Amino acid sequence: MDSPNLAVASAQVGGGGMRKSSTLICAPIVAESVAMMVVEIGRAKAAGADLVEIRLDHLKVFNCNQDVKTLIDQSALPTLFTYRPKWEGGQYDGDEKSRLDALRLAMELGADYIDVELQVAQEFIGSIQDKKPEKLKIIVSSHNYQETPSVEALGNLVAKIQATGADIVKIATFALDITDVARIFQITVHSQVPIIGLVMGERGLISRILCAKFGGYLTFGTIDSGAVSAPGQPTIKDILHLYNVRQIGPDTKVFGIIGKPVSHSKSPILHNEGFKSVGFNGVYVHLLVDDIAKFLKTYSSADFAGFSVTIPHKEAALKCCDEVDPVAKSIGAINCIIRRPTDGKLYGLNTDYVGAISAIEDGLRGSLNSSLVTGSPLAGRLFVVIGAGGAGKALAYGAKQKGARIVIANRTYDRAREIADTIGGQALSISDLDKFHPEDGMILANTTSIGMQPKVNETPISKHALKSYALVFDAVYTPKITRLLKEAEESGAIVVSGSEMFIGQAYEQFERFTGLPAPKELFRKVVESTS
């Protein structure tokens, strides 16, 4: 059961008009006073939420009769009342009878939804048998903060929740690995009743976006980033405008960036904006992956149509593909995987070096009288690559193709030696870089994460050593101008930022994903506005 075919019956997702997804967006309201809650409800509506979850357990002072009435009367959106006890991960640790009385009162005063925990659901639903208003829906929830159980255990849990008389089933589990989410998708797709299936934690983020594809009843989005009521919640703004959740339907193709870490990546902004601009039915997500072979084996259906691959998976990804582009094979690393629609086979390629090498060539051409340069301005130059991972190999290979002489500098000398021998070049330990200047006018390319946010004060080479270089390139693109580039510019070198490589590699990936020309101007604009 670990490798579900996540095909969805279209009938499960209602549609109509511009909005493909019937999945509602719910904003958790976790303010400490009723007055603040009312303000937050207004903000949730302005942000585009469909309903609000009023978390009574977060109130510092709670006057039941008066406060529940105020919240219902003054809410600008449909209300879901939750009074979560400590034993289910909430804040309330008082008397059970008072807690359930408050939920019954919310029901009587006109709440749209009540969330009650599985442990007390049978008793609670029994107590309101004849009093339940027609419009009220009871959500019966189960939270597992430790793990995501097996498909079989989840199926039994759904049956158990249904048996209480729930109108809507809610299961929230925790992701120890991104493949855990596939089990929740499988349960969601096959559920005969309305279901909310969410997986907490950063590895579970896709559950909160792709539930719109697999027929989930609702997803939670926060009004402000950081103000989460459960780990891993995205903002309403991201749900609506970054991932365009309203446009996700059963036939939406899923793409994403596989990495660890991955949350810093701007690829989802770029590709989702691109998809939107050309009217392509796809969504592109962050994928925090620990084991890429396991990930690709689990998400093996045609729904998952292509991936970008970043640190540290570029070399392992190559081994997972059925077929690899010859250039990528020489490099020994890929940064893009396409699932062929004809046979479902995985095809790997490397678009990294194309973007970087052309940006470096453009930088050099700009400084030379280009009418005098025939062929590549890299020909004959000494090209020093810092880093011996996938990106380092890709750049070294690309520069070698253009006629440059290659030096690989790495923390572990043996690894540098290994790659230098394969490509045909020199090897250095990174600690020797400061003393290395056999000639002037060299090219330096940093392909490590040294200097990336949050460690922006780090640099792989001292400033005085930069005088020997005509051009310095840094693959790091957050921040756009790293300490390395700043000091290189002060030393008189031409500088090329990682955003150039990032844009270049993204063009080709977009075209491979969609079969359409990349919106290059839009990509530039997006990168400039987010850097």
Q: What is the pLDDT along the chain (531 residues), one digit of tens a residue?
A: 344 444 333 333 333 346 789 999 999 999 999 999 999 999 999 999 999 999 999 999 999 999 999 999 999 999 999 999 999 999 999 999 999 999 999 999 999 999 999 999 999 999 998 899 999 999 999 999 999 999 999 999 999 999 999 999 999 999 999 999 999 999 999 999 999 999 999 999 999 999 999 999 999 999 998 777 777 889 999 999 999 999 999 999 999 999 999 998 999 999 999 999 999 999 999 999 999 999 999 999 999 999 999 989 999 999 999 999 988 998 888 999 999 999 999 999 999 888 899 889 989 998 765 555 678 999 999 999 999 988 899 999 999 999 999 999 999 999 999 999 999 999 999 999 999 999 999 999 999 999 999 999 999 999 999 999 999 999 998 888 999 999 999 999 999 999 888 888 899 999 999 999 999 899 999 988 886
Domain-ending residue, one of 217, 250, 283: 250
Distance (Å, whole) CA 449 – CA 452? 5
Q: What angle do CA 49, 54, 55 make, to 5 degrees?
A: 130
Tens digits of residue pLDDT in 476-509: 988 889 999 999 999 999 999 998 888 888 999 9
Task: Let me know if residue 489 belongs to a domain.
Answer: yes
Asked if 104 contacts 133 with a C-beta cutoff of 8 angstroms, the reply is no
Q: DSSP per residue over 45-81, as a string?
A: HHHT-SEEEEEGGG-SS--HHHHHHHHHHH-SS-EEE
Domain-ending residue, one of 199, 217, 250: 250
Same-domain pairing of 218 and 296: no
**Domain range enclosing 394:** 353-368+377-496
Tens digits of residue pLDDT in 511-527: 999 999 999 899 999 98
Query: Is 170 designated active site?
Result: yes
pTM to 2 decimals? 0.85
Task: Let me know if residue 126 belongs to a domain.
Answer: yes
Helix (H) or strand (E) holding 355: helix 352-367
Same-domain pairing of 186 and 317: no
Domain count of the chain? 3
Asked if 277 contacts 227 with a C-beta cutoff of 8 angstroms, the reply is no
Write down the pLDDT at residue 499: 86
Same-domain pairing of 359 and 291: no
Residue 140's domain is classified under what CATH number? 3.20.20.70
Task: Let me know if residue 525 belongs to a domain.
Answer: yes
Query: Which of the residues 57, 67, 115, 170 is marked catalytic?
Result: 170
Query: Is 352 designated active site?
Result: yes
Write down the pLDDT at residue 372: 58
Write down the pLDDT at residue 367: 76
Same-domain pairing of 337 and 357: no
Same-domain pairing of 297 and 388: no
Phi, psi of 407 (to 5 degrees): -125, 130
Distance (Å, whole) CA 499 – CA 531? 9
Task: Let me know if residue 135 belongs to a domain.
Answer: yes
Distance (Å, whole) CA 283 – CA 252? 7
What the block records as the tokens of 380 is 């004959």
| Residue found by looking up tokens 């991972």 in the block | 389
Same-domain pairing of 74 and 178: yes
Task: Let me know if residue 120 belongs to a domain.
Answer: yes
What the block records as the tokens of 399 is 């520069």
Distance (Å, whole) CA 501 – CA 220? 35
Q: What angle do CA 495, 497, 501 make, to 5 degrees?
A: 125
Same-domain pairing of 426 and 400: yes
Same-domain pairing of 194 and 92: yes
Query: Is 58 designated active site?
Result: no
| Residue found by looking up tokens 């709440």 in the block | 111
Same-domain pairing of 94 and 220: yes
The C-alpha torsion from 495 through 501 and 504 to 506, rounded to 10°, is -150
Write down the pLDDT at residue 2: 40
Residue 389's domain is classified under what CATH number? 3.40.50.720
Task: Let me know if residue 84 belongs to a domain.
Answer: yes
Query: Which of the residues 58, 286, 313, 314 is marked catalytic?
Result: 314
Task: Let me know if residue 155 belongs to a domain.
Answer: yes
Residue 286's domain is classified under what CATH number? 3.40.50.10860
Same-domain pairing of 119 and 222: yes
Asked if 324 contacts 349 with a C-beta cutoff of 8 angstroms, the reply is yes
Query: Which of the residues 20, 58, 143, 271 is marked catalytic?
Result: 143
Residue type, 439: E
Q: Is 363 helix (H, G, I), strand (E, B) or coil?
A: helix
Pairing of the two strands 426-429 and 382-386: unpaired
Domain-ending residue, one of 250, 280, 306: 250
Same-domain pairing of 204 and 220: yes
Tell me which residue of 81, 158, 142 sits closest to 115, measured CA to CA. Answer: 81
Task: Let me know if residue 9 belongs to a domain.
Answer: no
Burial per residue of 246-256, b for 16 or more beta-carbon CB atoms within 10 angstroms, e otherwise: bbbbbebbbbb
Query: Which of the residues 115, 177, 238, 352 is marked catalytic?
Result: 352
Query: Is 463 designated active site?
Result: no
Burial per residue of 98-123, b for 16 or more beta-carbon CB atoms within 10 angstroms, e otherwise: ebbebbebbbebebbbbbbbbebbbe
Q: DSSP per residue over 407-455, as a string?
A: EEEESSHHHHHHHHHHHT-EEEEGGGGGG--SSSSEEEEE-S-TT-TT-
Same-domain pairing of 66 and 167: yes
